[in-house]
Amino acid sequence: MEKTKINHDGIINLEQPLIKVPLEQFRKSFRTSQKLIEKEMQILITSVEDLAKSHPNQTILNDCKIIDSMVNRIQALKRKLDETKFEEAMYAKRTKQRIDHLLQLTNITTVDSEEYKRWSRLRLERIIVEYMLRNGCSESAEKLANDAGIRELVDIELFAQARKIEDGLRRKSCFECLTWCGDNRSNLRKMKVNYIDL
């Protein structure tokens, strides 16, 4: 019986990236929203202060232009926040699905059970898709992920982003790589990686 018992802790330790990646993406999207709000609010506060300090001889037309500009900025901010809200919801959904996938394992007690065989098959398909993505077989990997119903359990978009950076470097273009470094500046600092100040 001891040979057929599942080592849940060992498997969960191996599966940490499954949960970590969407959580990191969620955190990054949230930080982007937060920075966007702070930046726009500072601009709006400055505009309101300028409006309050406006000279009495200034025309109402000028004040209306300032207010219209503020309204346009708020509307643009709302559109951008709606986009990040969609992203955050997608990452939250993806995280939940991955946690549910791992929770299925906790209800399985032996490696001989049909449930474990199904769970292992899904895990194997996930590993194959990730292997294919790492080796440039993106279309085949995406088809396998869709056919197996595991798209939410693999990070196709993340590998596509990495592939764009690699392709740029092959073309001797650093733009994509430098953009990525700029987007991930704080993480690079935490890892004490020397990066180029943008």
Q: Report pLDDT for 119.
A: 93
CA 147/CA 98 separation, integer angstroms = 18
Q: Report pLDDT for 12.
A: 84
Q: Report pLDDT for 3.
A: 64
Q: Which pair of structure tokens corresponds to residue 65?
A: 């232009």
Q: Report pLDDT for 1.
A: 46
Q: DSSP labels for 86-116?
A: HHHHHHHHHHHHHHHHHHHHHT--BTTSHHH
Residue 130 burial (CB count, 10 A): 19
Q: Which pair of structure tokens corresponds to residue 5?
A: 């018992």
Q: Report pLDDT for 107.
A: 87
Q: pLDDT tens, position by position, for the chain (198 residues)?
A: 456 788 778 888 888 888 888 988 888 889 889 999 999 999 988 888 877 777 666 677 777 888 898 899 999 999 999 988 998 999 999 999 999 999 998 888 888 889 999 999 999 999 999 999 999 899 999 999 999 999 999 999 889 999 999 999 999 999 998 888 888 887 788 888 876 554
